[in-house]
Amino acid sequence: MFYREAGDFKTSYEADSQTFPIKFDRYRFWAVLAVAYLVIPFIINDYWANAILVPFLIYTIAAIGLNILTGYCGQVSLGTGGFMAVGAYAMYKLMTAFPDVSIMIHVILAGGITAVVGAAFGLPSLRIKGFYLAVATLAAQFFLVWLFNKVAWFYNYSASGQINAPERFVGGIAVTGPNTDAWAKYMICLVFVTVCAIIARNLTRGTMGRKWMAIRDMDIAAEIIGVNPLQAKLSAFAVSSFFIGISGALFFSVYLGAVEVGEAFGIQKSFLVLFMVIIGGLGSIFGSFAGAGFLVLLPVALKVIGVDLLGWPTDIVAHLQLVIIGALIMFFLIKEPHGLAQFWRVAKEKLRLWPFPY
Amino acid sequence: MKLKTLAAMALAGTLAAGPALAELVIPDLSYRTGPYAAGGTPFSDGYQDYFHMLNARDGGVGDEMFRIIECETGYNTEKGVECYESTKGEGALIYQPLSTGITYQLIPKATADGIPLHTMGYGRTSAANGEVFNWVFNYPANYWDAASVMVNYLLDENGGSLDGKKIALVYHNSAYGKEPIRTLENLSAQHGFELTQLAVDHPGQEQKSQWLQIRRERPDYVLMWGWGVMNQVAVQEAANIGFPMENFIGNWWAGAEHDVIPAGDAANGYKSLNMNRIDANLPVFDDIRTHVHDAGNAAGDGSNIGNVLYTRGMYAAMLAAEAVAKAQEIHGTAAITSAMMRDGMEALDITDARMQELGMADIGPEFTVSCQDHGGSGLGIVQQWDASAGAWVALTDYIAPDDAVTLPLIMEDSGAFAAENNIEAGCM
């Protein structure tokens, strides 16, 4: 009734190729942005920022990055944790070496450095595919974590091997360090998520995204129609690592403030982001949001229900959480391999016909 | 997805709107799951049982009841932050995270929020300098004390000289394990022993290559900074290569019953440090059995009572309860705030007479805390595992660390932290 293409006349090519062709979707998009920018910053508290929204936003960027590589270009990667570590350590070195430069620039530079590293580790993808490539990226994961543990230069020779984010300001407001207000943390992450999501969405709709998808669907056919696999695969690795690097930089500087590479960026992180992409939906930007939100909220929600409402022992709830997440992953792989994003797509299809389905 | 966010928001809203009654709120950031659960569980049992015992026997401290909020961290820093944020609004008086990684997270946060942090024998060693770390306490001892105590013990064993000896350090490859390296390097230069560093990655189940290297290099002594499953594996690997157990010394987080029992008789003779004397017959344990376990309020299954980490958890709770009493005395009110709690911790004075009175005679060394010194005495004993008796036997009395080595390092590291974070050193 209200959700339909009919009656929404496009009179220019720009209008015809816009991201949201349906008017309702456009309003909804602006409404979500309005709530995120104009409402949440005024009601957010420390708990909501540090335990839920900031990790959700940061993991969303990581999931978008991995989704570009795995979901759009079809290259399986288990190196996400390692690439996030590159972003975090690049951020740390930049923050301490150039304290006068705005950290907004540092975050983007950290993304750029990660893009270079990611492209280098993407080189094997020209020769190997599938599981073998996954193993090659796994090597990147272990190598990078080992490197940041081993070479003391990366952590400025501190006694503990930890990196700590010094206090930095954007426009006179602290965004890193212990005295950061909840809303400031939230806002800086939100700005990066918005920009990253818009860039990613438009990249995947354009020439570059179509090349990636051609490679994903059948690389030999793609090569025959003129897609350069070297360029397509490496650009996917670079763009994906750029986003993952940004998320690693924010993860370290804004969210945690102190990071230990083995603990924060271990193999579990790679799997966590991969699960987000799988549960959210491969090849969907919305799926990255859905997957990140789901896996950040689920443990918190289970804890609130199990421990605070039902009063169960904390260890039982923690174990139950593993069982439930494991079961959900199996459920999604079997029942809905396209993830939460597919539910959303189906809902939209149904909504188009509502209230008169045939 | 947005709907889901809202639904969870409503759920967590119930959590945020907790009641603000006048009671002594103690969050327990425990871990009973994951690769470090073997150590986290008995510590948390002891920590909670002692507070519950005080509630049941004395009605809390100063007629003010304790309320324990347990939160599972799994030794994971992200969950630790979530636990901290979800409990601090309840009026938390003190945090005891039992994780060096989480401690590093919480030092700036707790300082900004004005809640004291007690990192007993772990965490950031330079927090012993109370003028820089106003809100962080690591009494009665820290890692650098432990490293120095170990070397002093070995000096004693070797007639005062370690010249030309080879000592290997097997450490957990994290902030925790790296802490003692700088001290040991200084000590190695001072006493002329050769130090080999062998890192073991989280969680520590894979140590074959490290122990092969030990077999090849044949160090005279192996020191270990291990925790969780890493300890059991290391003891087993040492037994496998036939390394003499009496030359293998763990720190105080690598010396509990569950670390050595899996290796059976092979673990006989393994040594470790301890900051407490282990005595399962202390009167306080009887009180815990009567008032807590028999009443069905045990934090765990009740089987850990009296063992090394249970004792240490209880000891941590005792130090917190004593600080509460001190804070009540200083401020003349029973309903203390976290800022008052800090004053109580800074004025803490633990004497033998007081420990006797509490039914835990000789459980730890005597020490006092001051504004300058948040680190306590730094004393430690060396204990040895007797596999046939299934018990730890104290080999020595409390050994003093070499403050001339640790103090300059503490000043240097805390000074660097103060400069990095624009902290002006001084008492509050």
Phi, psi (degrees; rounded to nearest 5) at B68: -95, 130
What local confidence, expressed as pLDDT, does residue B10 receive? 46
Q: Are A339 and A281 in contact (CB under 8 A)?
A: yes
What domains, with CATH codes, occur in chain B? 23-141+279-377 (3.40.50.2300), 143-274+380-407 (3.40.50.2300)
| Sign of the C-alpha dihedral computed for residues A9, A15, A19 and A25 taken in this order | negative
A263 neighbourhood in chain B, CB within 8 Å: 76-77, 101, 174, 202
A51 neighbourhood in chain B, CB within 8 Å: 81-82, 85-86
- pLDDT tens for residues A157-210? 887 888 988 889 998 899 998 888 999 999 999 999 999 999 999 999 999 999
What local confidence, expressed as pLDDT, does residue B322 receive? 95
- Which amino acid type is present at position A306? G
Distances from the Cα of B392 to the Cαs of A145, B243, B293, B311, B369, in angstroms? 37, 20, 24, 13, 29
Between the two ends of chain A, the Cα-to-Cα distance in Å is 14
Crossing angle (nearest 10°) for helices B338-346 and B308-331: 110
Q: Are A201 and A64 in contact (CB under 8 A)?
A: no
Phi, psi (degrees; rounded to nearest 5) at B24: -95, 105
For every residue of B262-302, DSSP letters joined together read GGGGGGTT-EEEESS---TT-HHHHHHIIIIITTT--SS-S
- pLDDT tens for residues A48-105? 999 999 999 999 999 999 999 999 999 999 999 999 999 999 999 999 999 999 999 9
- The mean of the pLDDT values for chain A is 92
- pLDDT tens for residues A83-93? 999 999 999 99
Contact B85 A50 (CB under 8 A): yes
Distances from the Cα of B316 to the Cαs of B50, B321, B344, in angstroms? 9, 9, 15
Angle, vertex CA B127, rays to CA B332 and CA B349, nearest 5: 40
Q: Which residue, among B76, B85, B115, would best test binding to A if mutated, counting the most A CBs under 10 Å from its CB?
A: B85
Q: Are B342 and B116 in contact (CB under 8 A)?
A: yes
B171 neighbourhood in chain A, CB within 8 Å: none
Distances from the Cα of B90 to the Cαs of A92, A220, A295, A305, in angstroms? 34, 61, 26, 18
ipTM: 0.89
A258 neighbourhood in chain B, CB within 8 Å: 104-105, 108
Collapsed DSSP state (helix, strand, coil) of residue A115: helix
A293 neighbourhood in chain B, CB within 8 Å: 1, 4-5
Q: How many alpha carbons lie under 13 Å from residue B169 in its C-beta half-sphere?
A: 26
Distances from the Cα of B141 to the Cαs of A48, B148, B280, B314, B319, in angstroms? 36, 11, 22, 16, 13
Contact B178 A294 (CB under 8 A): no
What local confidence, expressed as pLDDT, does residue B22 receive? 67
Distance CA B117, CA B123 (A): 10
Contact B14 A304 (CB under 8 A): yes
What local confidence, expressed as pLDDT, does residue A16 receive? 87
- pLDDT tens for residues A109-148? 999 999 999 999 999 988 888 889 999 999 999 999 999 9
What local confidence, expressed as pLDDT, does residue B12 receive? 47
Q: Which helix (H) or strand (E) holds A127?
A: none
Closest CB to A177: pick one of B72, B88, B108: B108
Residues (pLDDT < 70) of chain B are: 1-22
Q: Which helix (H) or strand (E) holds A258?
A: strand A258-259
Chain A nearest-CA distance from B82, in A, is 5
B182 neighbourhood in chain A, CB within 8 Å: 159
Collapsed DSSP state (helix, strand, coil) of residue A20: coil
- pLDDT tens for residues B137-153? 999 999 999 999 999 99
Nearest CA in chain B to A32: B2
Contact B174 A178 (CB under 8 A): no
Closest CB to B8: pick one of A257, A262, A297: A297
Q: Say whether pLDDT at A338 is over 90.
A: no
- Which amino acid type is present at position A192? F
Structure tokens at B4: 């889901």
What local confidence, expressed as pLDDT, does residue B419 receive? 86
- CA nearest to A337, candidates A295, A272, A277: A277
Closest CB to A51: pick one of B32, B86, B111: B86
Q: Are B94 and B116 in contact (CB under 8 A)?
A: yes
> CA-CA-CA-CA torsion for B133, B103, B232, B207, nearest 10 degrees?
-100
What local confidence, expressed as pLDDT, does residue B1 receive? 40
Closest CB to A262: pick one of B11, B181, B201: B201
What local confidence, expressed as pLDDT, does residue B327 receive? 95
